Amino acid sequence: MTDPGVTGKPVVLTAHARERMRERGAREADVVQAIRIGQPEAAQRGLVLYRLNLEFHREWDGRYYGVQQVVPVVAEEGDRLVVVTVYVFYFQEGARP
């Protein structure tokens, strides 16, 4: 369960986070959803990361995957949440159904 304190704060994406999202195939709506309902974990330097597995069922980088895990790394700054970077992992590689 996510921290109830983060649910109402606005999410701000840094230029670095936007670039990593583009490179790694994450959508902004999925990053925000991960922060709102994903599983929080402590990260380095007082940051928090949020993991959220999403049904994917399409190709990424020439391979078909069933699950995409979106992992934004967030700094809580007063009244807003700043996304520092975004990791993306893909699972259930295989042939199209």
Residue 40 pLDDT exceeds 80: yes
| Stated pTM of the model | 0.89
Predicted confidence (pLDDT) per residue in 1-17, tens digit: 345 456 689 999 999 99
Characterize the bridge pairing of strands 48-60 and 63-77: antiparallel
How far apart CA 21 and CA 73 sit, in angstroms, is: 12
Query: Which positions ≥6 away from 95 have C-beta within 8 Å?
Result: 64
Catalogue the E-assigned strands of the chain.
11-13, 39-42, 48-60, 63-77, 80-93
Residue 93 pLDDT exceeds 90: no
Please report, as a single letter, which amino acid is at residue 91: F
Percent of the chain with pLDDT over 90: 82
86: nearest Cα among 28, 41, 37:
28
61/19: higher pLDDT: 19
